[in-house]
Amino acid sequence: QVQLVESGGGLVQPGGSLRLSCAASGISFSFNVMGWYRQAPGKERELVATITSDGSTIYADSMNGHATISRDNAKNTVYLQMNSLKPEDTAVYYCYALHLVRAVHHTYWGQGTQVTVSS
């Protein structure tokens, strides 16, 4: 059974940094895409950043310049380094993974990790 387990969330002051990690288990393949979404209270889940197996990245406009996504394919792990955090970055951050099999998209989600930016 595929599992995505996030870690690294917590409380941080404005201007601070956090590094989120997401480790996948129960797989014998490499995900085509891994990434992060977030959901703030009262808002819809939104894209933060994604990265393909060959390292191509996409960032939400709101994250450009203060987030870096990376992955370790050998460890089936994706990371999100966030700097200069703002209160509006407060949300539950969800790990996301996509495995494409014969044109069928198999998507997986983690349970989420809370990030709170507050003084």
Q: Is there a contact between 85 and 15 (Cβ–Cβ < 8 Å)?
A: yes
* Per-residue pLDDT tens digits for 53-111: 999 999 999 887 899 999 999 999 999 999 999 999 999 999 999 999 898 999 999 99
pLDDT at 39 over 80: yes
DSSP code per residue over 19-68: EEEEEEES-SS--SEEEEEEE-TTS--EEEEEEETT--EEE-GGGTTTEE
The position carrying tokens 């990245």 is 57
In DSSP terms, 33 is beta-bridged to 52, 98
